Amino acid sequence: MDLKNLIRTIPDYPKKGIQFRDITTLLEDASGFQQTIRELVDPLIDLQITRVAGIEARGFILGGAIAQQLSVGFVAIRKKGKLPGATHSVEYELEYGTDQMEVHVNSVSPGEKILLVDDLIATGGSACAAVELIRRSGGEVVGASFIVDLPDLGGRKKLEALAISVRSLMEFEGD
């Protein structure tokens, strides 16, 4: 099955001129969701990943399933103020202004091999912040996996400049 056919494109969302790539239609499809997880997990088998870190919120859906498939634990990377315990916090840039991502201080142990997961890589702001959070905790980011890459927005290159191995199942160019 070509998973790309299960992605819905919503024109002019969240604002005029943006083609929003909506993965919910893919996740809702039983075969599509299973194939997605399989294709994301297959290249990871030999990486000795110890935990999967998912980025709030859609990265939680994939991260939970991938952690379960790899038989490892799950680490939540959340927006500011959502985690109840002591956190590391990293600021990153949005189109207008900044936001912060956080991780609990003891979620990642020094030397651990962490896989980073989100649904889509665009400008890479939240993903690069997540890499910094994991490294600040002493973890090694052994890869970053996404369903969709929007290469024109440059996020993959930013991650690769941080020496992260990036995998995605499909690209949409011209976004």
> Which residues contact a second copy by CB under 8 A?
8, 10, 13-14, 20, 22, 24, 27-30, 32-34, 37, 50-51, 54, 56-58, 60-65, 67-69, 71-76, 78, 82-85, 104, 107
Catalytic annotation, pick one of 56, 78, 91, 95: 95
- Rounded to a whole number of angstroms, the minimum distance from the CB of residue 3 to a second copy is 13
State the catalytic residue, choosing from 39, 58, 135, 136. 58
Tell me the closest approach of the beta carbon of residue 160 to a second copy, in angstroms: 27
Each as own residue / partner, the long-range contacts of residues 70-76 (CB below 8 Å, 24 or more positions apart, any chain) are: 70/41, 70/44, 70/115, 75/51, 75/103, 75/104, 75/107, 75/108, 75/114, 76/103, 76/104, 76/107
Q: For residue 153, which of 130, 133, 136, 128 has the smallest C-alpha distance?
A: 128
- The reply to whether 95 belongs to the active site is yes
Is residue 144 helix, strand or coil?
A: strand
| Tokens, residue 155 | 């996020």
Q: How far is the CB of 80 from a second copy (least distance, A)?
A: 13
Report, in Å, the least distance between residue 15 CB and a second copy.
Answer: 12
Clarify whether 58 is annotated catalytic.
yes
C-alpha 133/C-alpha 131 separation (Å) is 5
Rounded Cα distance, 5 and 139, in Å:
36
Of 152, 142, 146, nearest to 167 (Cα)? Answer: 146
Catalytic residues: 58, 95
